[in-house]
Chain A
C-alpha cells in the first residue's frame, strides 16, 4: 500500500510542474510589464521596482522561472494589488467557506443521487426510473446560477423562509448548497444507475439471490459494493466540478469564498490573487483525485497489487 501511495504521489509531480508553468506564463502572456501588472495600476515606481527585483525580471527566463518556483514552494505569491495583503492570507481566509459549501453540496448530492440511482437500477424502465433519469437530465441542463436565482425568488422573496445571501447561520448555507448539489446530483444518479444495472446482472448477484439472501442484502452488500468504484470516481470528479460551479453559486449568494474572490480579482485585474486562487483550485483538484485513487485501492485490493 505504501508503495502504491508513493507511486501515486510521484505521478502528481508532472501535473504540479505543469500548473506552475501555466501560472508563470499566464503573467507573461499579458500585454505590458509583468511587474506593473502585478503591482496594479495605482502602484508607485518604487513598488514596481521592488517587484521587478523580487521576480528577477532582468534575468533570463529560466532564472525567472526558478525564482518563481522557489517562491511558490514557500507559498509566497506576493501581495494583492487591491488590499496589499499577502495573497496567501487572502486565499486561506476564503478557503474554509468554499470547502464548507462544496462538502455540504456533495453530501446532499450523494444523499439524493446514490439512492435515486439504486432505485432506478432496481426498477429500470418504470415510472420511477423515468422520473429520476429525467430529473438528472434536467439537473445537467439547468444553469446553476439561474437555479440559484429562482430559489432566491421562491424561498427568500415569496416565502421569506431563507436568507437570499451572505453567511452567519445554518440557514445561509441551505440555498447555496442545494443549488450546487443540483449541479452534480445528476451525474451521481446516472453513474449509480448504470453501475448498479451492470453489477445486478453479474453472476455473483444471481448466486447471492439463489442462496436465498434478502433482496436488500443482495443490493447493498453484493451489488452496491461492487458498483462503488465508478461511483467514487464520479463523486471525486464532481467535487472538482463543484469548485467550478462554486464560482457562480458564490456570486449568486454573495458567499465569501474562493469563487467570488477570483471573480472580483479578475474584474479588478488583481493578478497576484488570480494566480493564487487558480493555484489553490488546482491543488485542491489534485488532492481530491489523489484521495479518490487511495480510496480505490482501499475498496478494491486488485488495484493495489496490479
Chain B
C-alpha cells in the first residue's frame, strides 16, 4: 500500500475533525442533561413564586442550591476515574451567585419582578458566551430564551412568574432536548 504525504495529511485532518465532533457532541449531551434538569427546577421555582410569593426567595435559594449540587454531581459522574473534584465548577457557581447577588440585591435593589427577569437572563448570558467557544447551539439558546424572558417582563403582567415557568423552564427543557439531537 502506498500513501503519499498529501493523502496521509488528509487522513490525519479527517481524524482530527471526527475527534473534534465527538468532543463537541459529548459537551452537547452533558449540557443537554444539565439544561433539562435546570428547566425542571426553574418550573418549580416559578410555580412556588406564583403560588406562594412570600416564599419565593427561600424557594429560589433551595432551587439554586439543588441545581448547583446536581450540576456538580452530573459533571463529576461523567468524568474519567482519577480526575479530581471539579473545584473550578464549584468556584464558577460561587462567583455566579456572588456577582448576581451583588448586583441584584446590594447595588441595584431590584424589585421581585426585576429579579425574576435578571436571574434567568444573567444565567443565559453565560450560555450565549459559551457558544462562542463550544458551539452555536449554546448562543442560540442563550439569546433566544433571553428575548422571551424580556418579552414576558414587558408584556406578561402579573402572570410573569407563571410565564417564566412555562417559557423559561419549558424552554430550557426543549432546548436541552434539541441540543441532545443536534
Co-assembled chains A and B: no
